[in-house]
Structures are given as C-alpha cells and as structure tokens.
Structure 1
Amino acid sequence: MATSKDKADKALSPTEQRKAREAAKLKENLKRRKQQARARRAGDAESESGIPAARDPEMK
C-alpha cells in the first residue's frame, strides 16, 4: 500500500527526487557528525575506530 510520502515522491521530477535524496543524506550526515562531536567533547569517542595501521601502537 502506498503512503502519502510515496505518492509525493512519485509526483516529483527525477531532478527533484535526486535533490530530496541528497538533502536527506546531508541531514543524516550532519546528525552523525554532531553525534561524533558530542562524543568527543564528552570523552566517549571510540578509541578503536579508524584504520588499525594508522593508530599509534603505544596508545591503547
């Protein structure tokens, strides 16, 4: 069953659909980056993130 959002997406041109998808991706990216910044400020950032070879072996 189609929802009102599905109907609205179908009414948009392909260019408008692409712009809407890009806007949603940017919004999600901003949300994730803000979450990461908050975690870093609070000292809760993951120490095991990133490429293992790039990490300092003396820091654990």
Structure 2
Amino acid sequence: MIDKPDTDRNGEHAGREMRLRAALRENLKRRKSQSRGRADQVGATERSDSERQDE
C-alpha cells in the first residue's frame, strides 16, 4: 500500500494561509475605516461645540 504524499496537505495549508491573510487584511481595512469615521465624528462634534462657545 502506498500512502499519498504530503503535498496535498501542504497545498491545503498554503490555501488556508492565503485565505487567512486576505481575511486579516480586509479586517484591518475595515477597522481603519471605522476608526477614521469615528475620528471624523469627534472632529465635527468638537467644531460644533467651539462654534457654540463663540456665540
């Protein structure tokens, strides 16, 4: 009986690793975008607060 070489496992591992890297990259992009959005909201709130103080 001849066993299959481990090349299938290595290929599966490489594919899984590539999918995980892509998912992590997308997650990082989403988190950065959310962070920028929050920073924009804080900046807008601070500007409106300072405008109220000027009045």
TM-score (norm 2): 0.57
- Measured on the aligned residues, the alpha-carbon RMSD in Å equals 1.8
**Which of 1 and 2 has higher RCO (CA within 8 Å, sep 6+)?**
1
Identity of aligned residues (%): 42
> Which position in structure 1 is the counterpart of 2:26?
28
TM-score (norm 1): 0.52
> Deviation of residue 36 (structure 1)?
0.1
Q: Distance in 1 between matches of 2:17 and 2:41?
A: 36
Which runs of 5 or more residues in structure 1 are unaligned?
Answer: 1-11, 45-60
> Deviation of residue 35 (structure 1)?
0.1
- Which is greater in Rg? 2
4+ aligned runs moved over 2 Å, structure 1: none
* Aligned mate of 1:37, from 27, 32, 35: 35
